[in-house]
Amino acid sequence: MGLFDKVMGAINNPNLQANTSQLGGILNTAQQLSNTLGVDQGTVNTAMSVVGNFTKSALQDKRAENGEQAAQSIVNQFSGLNPSPEAIRALFSSTQVSQMINIIAQRTGLDASIITNMLPQLVSMVLSFLNSGTNSQNPVQGNNPVLHGFLDADGDGDVDIADAMQMAGRFLK
């Protein structure tokens, strides 16, 4: 089951936080970011993919070090639609941030200063997307099917946050 399917399952589960308004808010924020930067949505999606991959790796490390609840705790703490520089500091080393900026710059042609300014927003959107599977009654519980799917427990490597968000956008239309 793909990440989008996990999100759809979360929307259909009244015990989880996912809802169409939440997805719509994330997608609207991505569109606003695109408009603010004066770039096409594909550029933002490419940047989101890179951020998603780095976030996946960072959350996998947190989970390996401290368990599933540690990864869920970061998702709970830093998800939202407001930019969160704190989320970047909680997830990534300065080397990882530099690598992320370089990869996004190579793939999109955006200037590093623009990427640096958009990273807090992108990380918050990725974490918001992952938060959709959080249990409504017990948010610290580590049984988030969206987060679990994102961290790709079966190891097949077929997870891309930007693809899942594009599918969510098509679903909402």
Structure confidence by residue, pLDDT tens digits, 19-62:
888 888 988 999 999 999 899 999 999 999 999 999 999 999 99
Cα distances from 159 to residues 27, 56, 139, 165, in angstroms, run 18, 9, 23, 11
- Which tens digits make up the pLDDT trace of 89-133? 999 999 999 999 999 999 999 999 999 999 999 999 999 999 998
> How far is 130 from 19, CA to CA, in rounded Å?
12
Report the alpha-carbon distance of residue 77 to residue 23 in Å, rounded: 18
Residue 20, pLDDT score:
86
Q: Distance from CA of residue 169 to its chain's centroid?
A: 15
Please tell me the total count of domains within the chain.
1
Q: Which tokens belong to 143?
A: 């049984």
pTM for this prediction? 0.87
Give the C-alpha separation, 145 to 66, whole Å. 18
Range of the domain at 126: 3-172
C-alpha–C-alpha distance, residues 69 and 75, integer Å: 10
